[in-house]
């Protein structure tokens, strides 16, 4: 596995990380716990070092799962988790609102450390920007945790460039996590130039479009009732049918490279900047190995121009989130 540094921070991670959310949350009933622990061990064995979780995933159960799985290999991995939601203590609802008050940040850090069975959180993201708490206070709270040795690096998720600049002035931001893929390219407009200027790494989530870019989903696919893609406008049957044009493009390139559409989608992301480390999620060993194979796919400048030219002619249909969730991004 190739390694990459997240911006100027010195934090080195595998070129491809692993998003762990789906092992406990969001994509239908959670898979078998022991199978997921085996999958996490397989990821470590194959050179993945960056593992992404959050207290809200479950809630709480995803951190517990990851903590159990990595307990024997702690020195080989980088653990990223997140704060910023007000959670139902009984776990009946994933979240009740936003809460990035400094006292809550500290509580989340201490609780996450226990669930993850670690002494220090390697990368601690604000999950969503809280409009009721100045970002300077948030950065200051994380700075204090870094001083105390409970956190190593500060990150932001789905933050706008003004928020990033203000936070970075108080406590250097190591990484920003936001959605980015060949079918969601908004970060290219302002976010990527800002991160490059400030020396901040980028960790794209949903680099495979929540599974759509794998080519395994079409307008007839039925999702489990608890699968959150049911509420995403981009996953309506009509939008899926229209958006298959993007999958067809990836398939054409894949055929010429003896690769899969998913591998081309990930290779395209990796080719954008050397400080980008995507975190595709999966619950299947075969998909994990397929994703890892993308690191070895070489896209030439001509390949990238061809992809960009063809993609520019495709209009992706559907908002990525319903309005309630859209309001929490890019603040």
The residues that are catalytic are: 57
- DSSP secondary structure letter of residue 276: B
CA distance linking residue 18 with residue 294, whole number of Å: 13
Closest residue by Cα to residue 82 from 187, 175, 186, 200: 175
Residue 84, SS3 per DSSP: coil
Give strand ranges (E) for 137-266. Answer: 151-157, 173-179, 201-205
Q: How far apart are CA 209 and CA 197, in angstroms?
A: 27
The token duo for 168 is 């970075």
Closest CA to 236 of 214, 212, 215: 212
In the DSSP assignment, the letter for residue 104 is H
Phi and psi angles of residue 125, each rounded to the nearest 5 degrees, phi first: -95, 145
Alpha-helical (H) ranges within 271-321 are: 285-293, 301-311
- Give the E-state strand segments of 134-181 in sequence order: 151-157, 173-179
Calculate the alpha carbon distances from 122 to 81, 145, 192, 278, 296 in Å: 8, 11, 23, 17, 27
How many CB atoms lie under 10 A from the CB of residue 158?
A: 22
For 47, left (φ over 0), alpha (ψ -120 to 50), or beta?
A: left
91: closest CA among 125, 53, 56?
56
∠ CA(283), CA(234), CA(313), 5° rounding? Answer: 110
């Amino acid at each position: 596995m190739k390694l990459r540094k997240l911006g100027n921070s010195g934090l080195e991670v595998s070129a491809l990380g692993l998003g762990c959310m789906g092992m406990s949350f969001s994509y239908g009933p959670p898979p078998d716990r022991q199978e997921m622990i085996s999958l996490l061990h397989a990821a470590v064995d194959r050179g993945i070092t960056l593992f992404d979780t959050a207290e809200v995933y479950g809630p709480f159960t995803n951190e517990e799962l990851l903590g159990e799985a990595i307990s024997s290999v702690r020195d080989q991995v980088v653990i990223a988790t997140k704060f910023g939601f007000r959670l139902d203590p009984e776990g009946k609802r994933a979240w009740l609102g936003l809460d990035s008050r400094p006292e809550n940040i500290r509580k989340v850090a201490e609780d996450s450390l226990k669930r993850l069975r670690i002494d220090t959180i390697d990368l601690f993201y604000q999950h969503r920007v809280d409009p009721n708490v100045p970002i300077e206070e948030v950065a200051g709270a994380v700075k204090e945790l870094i001083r105390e040795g409970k956190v190593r690096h500060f990150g932001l998720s789905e933050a706008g460039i003004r928020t990033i600049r203000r936070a970075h002035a108080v406590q250097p931001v190591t990484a920003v996590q936001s959605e980015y893929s060949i079918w969601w390219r908004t970060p290219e407009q302002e976010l990527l130039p800002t991160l490059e200027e400030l020396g901040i790494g980028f960790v794209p989530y949903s680099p495979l479009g929540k599974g759509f870019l794998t080519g395994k989903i079409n307008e007839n696919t039925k999702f489990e009732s608890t699968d959150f893609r049911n509420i995403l406008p981009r996953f309506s049957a009509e939008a899926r049918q229209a958006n298959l044009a993007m999958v067809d493009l990836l398939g054409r390139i894949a055929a010429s490279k003896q690769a899969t559409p998913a591998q081309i989608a990930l290779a395209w992301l990796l080719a954008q900047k050397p400080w980008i480390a995507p975190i595709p999620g999966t619950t299947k060993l075969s998909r994990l190995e397929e994703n890892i194979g993308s690191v070895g796919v070489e896209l030439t400048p001509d390949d990238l121009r061809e992809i960009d030219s063809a993609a520019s002619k495709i209009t992706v249909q559907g908002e990525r989130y319903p309005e309630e969730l859209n309001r929490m991004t890019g603040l």
